Amino acid sequence: MTLAAPRPFAARLRGVNPVWAVLLLLLLAILLLNPAFAEPQGFMNFLRRAAPLCLLAAGQVFVLTSGGFDLSQGAVVTFTVVGASMLLDNDEGATGWVILVLLAAGAGVGAVNGLVVSVLRVPSLIATLGTMIALGGVVMTWSGGAPRGYLTDGFRAFGRFMWRDVPVVGLLPAALLVLVAGGALLWWLLHATTYGRLLHAVGDNPEAARLAGVPVARVRVIAFVASALSAVVAGVLLGGFSGVSLDVGTGAELQAITAAVLGGTLLLGGRGLVGGAVGGALTLSALFTLLNLLGLPQPVREVAQGLILILAVAFAVRRRGT
C-alpha cells in the first residue's frame, strides 16, 4: 500500500474560501484607522453588531442552494421587532411565550413561501416579494403606523447583554452565543445531514432529483422555513440593541443575499456554504465599519454593496464555468 502524497501548500491555500482573506484585510485596515478596535470591547461589539446579518445570510443560503430567493427576510425582521413590542405590552413575564409565538409565525411564513413556490409553481422572486409586501401591510395595520409599547429588558438582553470579566476575551456578548448556536445548527443541517445532500441535489437539477425520488416540495419548504426562522432570530437580536422601528429590516434581505454569494453560495443553486455566508456577512460588516471610519455617506455604502454583489456573482459564475 502506498500513502497519498500530501497536498502542496499552494494547493491547500487555493482551497481556502477567498472571503476570509478579504475579511482579514478589512480588519487590518480598520485596525490601522482605529487601534482601539483591537481591544476586546471594540472587537466584541463588532461581532455583536454583525450577528444578525450572519444569521440572515446563513438562513438565506438554504433558499439560494435550492435555486430560489427569499426577499421576505427583511419584512420578517420588521414583523418580529414590531410584533414583539405589541405582544409584550410592557410585560416582562411575557418574553418567553412572545418569542415562541414569533418563531411559530416565522415558520408559518416560511412554510407559505415554500408551498407557493413548490405547489403553485410561482417563481420564488414573485412569491417572496408578495410576502414582503403583505407583511409590510400587516405591520402597518397592526401598529397603526406608529409602534406602541417597548421591548422589555428580558427581550432586549439577547441583543445587548454582555458578560464582563470573561477570561481571555474580556467581554462576551449574548448575541455571539446565539450566533454560534444558530450557525452551528444551520451548518449541521446543510452539511452533515441527508437533508443537506437532498437540498443540493434539488438546487442542481430539480427534475433529475424528482425522478430520483427526492421529495422536492418538502425539501424546498424546509429551506424557506429555515430562512424565515433565521430572520426571526435576527429580528430578536436587532430589537435588542436597536429598539423598535418600522424600517429595522429594510434592505436586510439584499444584504443577506450579498453576504451569501460573497461567501461562495451560487445564485444558480446547487451549492451553498453556511460558513462562507457567515464570512461574507462579517466581511460586509467590516466594509461598512471601514466606510463609516472614512466618513463616507450612506449612498456610498449602498453603491459598494451593489458592486460587491455583481462582482461576487460574476466570479462565482466564471468559477463554475471552469
Inside any domain, residue 292: yes
User: How many other C-beta atoms are found inside a 10 Å radius of the C-beta of residue 191?
Assistant: 14
Q: Pick 321 or 290 by higher pLDDT.
A: 290
Q: Please tell me what DSSP assigns to residue 38.
A: G
Residue 32 falls inside a structural domain: no
Q: 131 lies in which domain range?
A: 38-316
Q: Is 298 a member of any domain? A: yes
Averaged pLDDT score across all residues of the chain: 88
pLDDT band of 111, cuts 50, 70, 90: very high
Sequential DSSP letters for 64-108: HHTT---TTHHHHHHHHHHHHHHHHTT-GGGHHHHHHHHHHHHHH
Q: Does residue 2 sit within a domain?
A: no
pTM for this structure?
0.91
Highest mean pLDDT among 26-40, 53-67, 257-271, 280-294: 53-67
In angstroms, the CA 79 to CA 286 distance is 27
Closest to 281 (Cα-Cα) out of 16, 6, 26: 26
Q: What is the rounded CA–CA span in Å between residue 286 and residue 233? A: 21
Model confidence at 13, in pLDDT bands (50, 70, 90)?
low
Note the pLDDT tens digit of each residue in 27-70. 999 999 999 888 888 889 899 999 999 999 999 999 999 999 99
- Enter the DSSP assignment of 4: P
Q: Please check whether residue 112 lies inside any domain of the structure.
A: yes
State the Cα–Cα distance between residues 197 and 195, nearest whole angstrom: 5
**Would residue 322 count as lying in a domain?**
no
Structurally, the chain folds into a number of domains equal to 1
64-90 tens-digit pLDDT: 999 999 999 999 999 999 999 989 888
CA–CA separation, 32 vs 35, rounded Å? 6
Tell me, what amino acid is at 100? L
**pLDDT tops 70 at residue 189:** yes
Q: Is residue 16 part of a domain?
A: no
Q: Residue 27 and residue 283: Cα distance in Å, rounded?
A: 9
In this structure, the dihedral spanned by the alpha carbons of residues 185, 189, 193 and 199, taken in order and rounded to 10 degrees, is -170
Q: Identity (one letter) of the amino acid at 215?
A: P
Does residue 288 lie within any of the structural domains?
Answer: yes
